[in-house]
Structure 1
Amino acid sequence: MMDEMSSGVSVAADPSADVPPPLKQGEAFHVFISYSSTDAQWTHSLIDRLESNGLGVCYHERDFTAGRTVLENMSECIQESQKVLLVLSSEFVRSRWCLLEANMSLFRDCLERKPIVPVILEPGVCVPLHLCHLTYLEVHDPEFEAKLLKVLFTPNRQLQGSTVVPYQPPSLYNGKPLQPLTATNVESLYKWDAGRFSDMDVPDQLRLIIEDRERYREAVGIINSVSQKRVFSKWLQAVLIGVGVGFLITLEGGIGYISFLLAFNPHSYFWPLALSCQVCILIGTLVQLGLTKRESVAHTVKEMQKAAGRANVILRDEKVLMGCQSTSKIHMVYVSLDGCRRTFAETFSERASAENMFGRALLYFSSGYACCLAKRSFPFPVPAAPGHLEGAVCFCQYVSTQLSLGEWM
């Protein structure tokens, strides 16, 4: 009944499926809808249209049982529904999906038996890792509602490959961007300061990926070390600026005093010269302060990029890379470097030399590569020859191209 869509989920043809499937024993709803409260207005409008087509819809604001936890209510509602519809927005991925993913063991049994229908509400939203293989519908598609009704009207037995599955090999998720990490002090962060990131525990979106949590904490600690260094440099910079301002005040005061004494001499030309010197000193000081501030921001980002490279040397076996392009956010990608690592081994005959060069490549290039992969944008044309990453530039291609362009961090 429904053509194969973007992610490979197929629906068996059934011309008679123009009404909702009958509810079986233990089922109370045709679909359970999970959404963020910020998207309630759009979702309620959709619910009204679905119910007008005879579908039984379950959602938390109306159908959750008071006095029970959110997790207990979600689990029961999913079990009583034929399908699960997720309204994916940035806020949903940040909050509600993290709650579900963090407790995947609680939901896995019921979710593996229920078709999942992800609906993309916002263009460019980062689809959670464990939904990347599913068919998704986009609300901006002119045929969105017709496609959605076809899915919901199709019996579960005719839906193929449309359920959340446990952790899969890298071939399925390779190259997928993850939710970025935001600095815990982002609200009080100056542009030239390095952000601090929580290393208390592995974030929800990484708990099913990171096996060694101590390794993750060590990697984040390396990036946080930039902030600690910046505290010292900031105090040193403040002292130097204070000394410089004091010197300028003393100099200006001396020049001003001499100008005042000579101003009464009608034949003296020194006081206009002194005034010009004062103005030049003041302008030069302001320009220097502006340049120092801009250079300080660039220097901080550069230091965080270097720290991300050192962190990636630790995280490479976890198949996670970090990248920094600002002082307040860390971009993260799930990517396997096994193929690229073999290429280094083939390029450099001695194993020790190959490992050394691969480590140096991670140090200097992995941060930029992670940012490019997360944003799906590279500063050069995609090489014609296929690499180790389907549909994107692999790490060894990125390193080779950057070296040929003379880029070296």
Structure 2
Amino acid sequence: MESSQNPENGDSAKSHFSNFLSVPKLTEKDMYHVFVSFSTEDSTWVHQLILKLEVTFPSIKICSHDRDFTAGKTIIENLTECIQKSQKILMVLSPDFVHSRWCLFEANLSVFQDCKSDKAVVPIMLKPCPMPLYLSHLTYLEVKDEHFFEKLCNRLLKNYAKETEDILVHFQSSLLYGGKHMLSLAAVNENDEEPGNGAFSDTCVPDPLKAVVKDPEIYKKAIRLINNTPTYVHVLNSNWTKGFVIIFLCSVFMSSIYTFTLACSLLVSWYYFMYLPICLFAFGLAIYKLEYWKKKRLKIITRNMSRRTGEANLFLVELSILAGCASNSSLDFVFVSLKECKTMFQITFEHDPELEKCMWEKAMIQYSSDYANCMARKYFPHSDPLAPGHLANGICFCQYVAMQIKQGYWP
């Protein structure tokens, strides 16, 4: 373990901090000052840090899962109880933490959502790793900072109305998570034999989206909009046409059998042999047309749903979410903020606010669904952006629109 990451540095820290900081009193509903969430792979370092805190501040009460969880209770029950009874939550971030099943509160979002409104969360970056999405709006302490322990003590034991710049190292906002694929939502009618508009559940917000969906009604409104995609009706798909095609196929099939029988029995002239391949060709062509109409209908349904998904994205973008309709039976959701991209539209059309609004809505309806699909799959057909974008790890929406215009796809 690197010395810069070693929380133990002697008794000088104890005398220094104990003179200027005091441990706050526990309220009636609290049992601990701090609940520490960490991966067992990092337990050695974490226990050294806990020991140093307890030696420096003998009255501090710290809870960790490996020593304070109650035997016989489930992990979720212990987790809920310990968080609720702690004043603050300390998260020790590392690759093992991010990939841990239980350290990530994304696995227990209902617990975290209930607690985060009145619980201070203090992230510590022990080893470089992506910030969990639900923590991306917070700042973290860097272990390699030479003043790490001092900043940690200040953050744990003092209640600031507003954190100053020299207390915490600021995280790079949610842009690091731009394009994060959050969910593939299957339609409730995905197993229907007849291709049609997909229908998606709008009764509640799926768990993977709860970390960012602050207003469930916006999500439900967007899903209802997609569910109400107009059904594509074409004369080739009407019941009358289908009945006619079935009768035609039966007629061709029976004619082919009759002709073949007559030809084989030599009861008719030789030219009847010419009628057989014609009937077989017509039969094959009819089958091909049926398949073609089916694929054509599915393609149009998906296109209509994609456009309607773009309309739904006008609401979802308020939640920093975009939906992409890649097929009639599934939606892909990605986490991405379009604030900077919308600002670019405002700058471009600053002399005509109505035109700016119109162009933004037109771009969202036309391209946001396909853009979300590309972000979810980390693949862009034309990866040649014209100008710098607003995402650190991908192509932003206004770049994507510019690429489409360059290809001549602007409607």
TM-score in terms of structure 2 length? 0.65
1:321 match: secondary structure: strand
Q: Offset of 1:383 from its aligned partner? A: 3.0
1:248 aligns with 2:249: yes
Q: Offset of 1:304 from its aligned partner? A: 2.0
Which residue of the partner structure matches residue 218 of structure 1? 221
1:182 match: secondary structure: strand
| Aligned equivalents of 1:307, 1:270: Cα separation in 2 | 56
| Aligned equivalents of 1:381, 1:317: Cα separation in 2 | 27
| Aligned equivalents of 1:159, 1:190: Cα separation in 2 | 59
1:200 match: secondary structure: coil
Which residue of the partner structure matches residue 15 of structure 2? none
2:231 match: secondary structure: helix
| Aligned equivalents of 1:268, 1:128: Cα separation in 2 | 81
Which residue of the partner structure matches residue 343 of structure 1? 344
Q: Offset of 1:363 from its aligned partner? A: 1.0
| Aligned equivalents of 2:92, 2:399: Cα separation in 1 | 40
Which residue of the partner structure matches residue 134 of structure 2? 130
Does the 8 A contact of 1:181 with 1:197 survive in 2? no
1:97 aligns with 2:115: no
1:195 aligns with 2:198: yes
| Aligned equivalents of 2:393, 2:217: Cα separation in 1 | 32
Which residue of the partner structure matches residue 319 of structure 2? 318
Does the 8 A contact of 1:263 with 1:271 survive in 2? no
| Aligned equivalents of 1:372, 1:73: Cα separation in 2 | 40
Which residue of the partner structure matches residue 305 of structure 1? 306
| Aligned equivalents of 2:92, 2:186: Cα separation in 1 | 33
2:228 match: secondary structure: helix
Q: Offset of 1:318 from its aligned partner? A: 3.4
| Aligned equivalents of 2:256, 2:196: Cα separation in 1 | 37
Which residue of the partner structure matches residue 409 of structure 2? 407
Q: Offset of 1:326 from its aligned partner? A: 2.7
Does the 8 A contact of 2:226 with 2:308 survive in 1? yes
1:73 aligns with 2:75: no
Q: Offset of 1:311 from its aligned partner? A: 0.8
Q: Name the Cα RMSD after superposition.
A: 5.1
Q: Offset of 1:268 from its aligned partner? A: 0.5
1:202 match: secondary structure: coil
1:179 aligns with 2:182: yes
Which residue of the partner structure matches residue 146 of structure 1? none
1:386 match: secondary structure: coil
Which residue of the partner structure matches residue 286 of structure 1? 287
1:396 aligns with 2:401: no
Deviations 1:93-132 (CA, angstroms, capped at 9, x unpaired): 9x97242356423256667157487998xxxxx9752145
Against the structure 1 CA distance between its residues 267 and 296, is the aligned structure 2 distance closer, same or farther, given a 3 Å change threshold? closer
1:370 match: secondary structure: helix
Number of equivalences: 357
Which residue of the partner structure matches residue 372 of structure 2? 370
Q: Offset of 1:71 from its aligned partner? A: 4.3
Q: Offset of 1:400 from its aligned partner? A: 1.3
* Aligned residue among 360, 363, 383 for 2:362: 360
Does the 8 A contact of 2:186 with 2:330 survive in 1? yes
Does the 8 A contact of 2:385 with 2:399 survive in 1? yes
| Aligned equivalents of 2:298, 2:280: Cα separation in 1 | 28
Q: Offset of 1:205 from its aligned partner? A: 4.0
Q: Offset of 1:361 from its aligned partner? A: 0.9
Against the structure 1 CA distance between its residues 116 and 358, is the aligned structure 2 distance closer, same or farther, given a 3 Å change threshold? same
Which residue of the partner structure matches residue 41 of structure 1? none
Q: Which amino acid in structure 1 is aligned with residue 385 of structure 2?
A: P
1:332 aligns with 2:333: yes
| Aligned equivalents of 1:92, 1:195: Cα separation in 2 | 34
Q: Which amino acid in structure 2 is aligned with residue 73 of structure 1?
A: N
| Aligned equivalents of 2:89, 2:111: Cα separation in 1 | 21
Greater C-alpha Rg: 2
| Aligned equivalents of 1:233, 1:88: Cα separation in 2 | 51
Does the 8 A contact of 1:256 with 1:274 survive in 2? no
Deviations 1:332-385 (CA, angstroms, capped at 9, x unpaired): 233333333333233333221221111111111111122223333322235363
Which residue of the partner structure matches residue 13 of structure 2? none
Which residue of the partner structure matches residue 163 of structure 2? none
| Aligned equivalents of 1:186, 1:248: Cα separation in 2 | 30
| Aligned equivalents of 1:242, 1:213: Cα separation in 2 | 45
| Aligned equivalents of 1:385, 1:408: Cα separation in 2 | 18
Q: Offset of 1:135 from its aligned partner? A: 11
Does the 8 A contact of 2:180 with 2:334 survive in 1? yes
Q: Offset of 1:74 from its aligned partner? A: 0.6
Report which stretch shifted further, 335-344 or 243-252: 335-344
Does the 8 A contact of 1:82 with 1:114 survive in 2? yes
Q: Offset of 1:176 from its aligned partner? A: 4.2
| Aligned equivalents of 2:172, 2:47: Cα separation in 1 | 40
Deviations 1:287-327 (CA, angstroms, capped at 9, x unpaired): 33333343344333222211111111233333322212233
Q: Give the alignment of 1:10-159 within 5 angstroms.
A: 12-14=4-6, 58=65, 65-66=71-72, 71-77=76-82, 88=98, 97-100=106-109, 103-106=112-115, 112-113=121-122, 115=124, 128-132=132-136
| Aligned equivalents of 1:129, 1:316: Cα separation in 2 | 16
| Aligned equivalents of 2:190, 2:289: Cα separation in 1 | 27
| Aligned equivalents of 2:240, 2:100: Cα separation in 1 | 43
Runs (5+) with no aligned partner, structure 2: 10-22, 51-63, 157-169
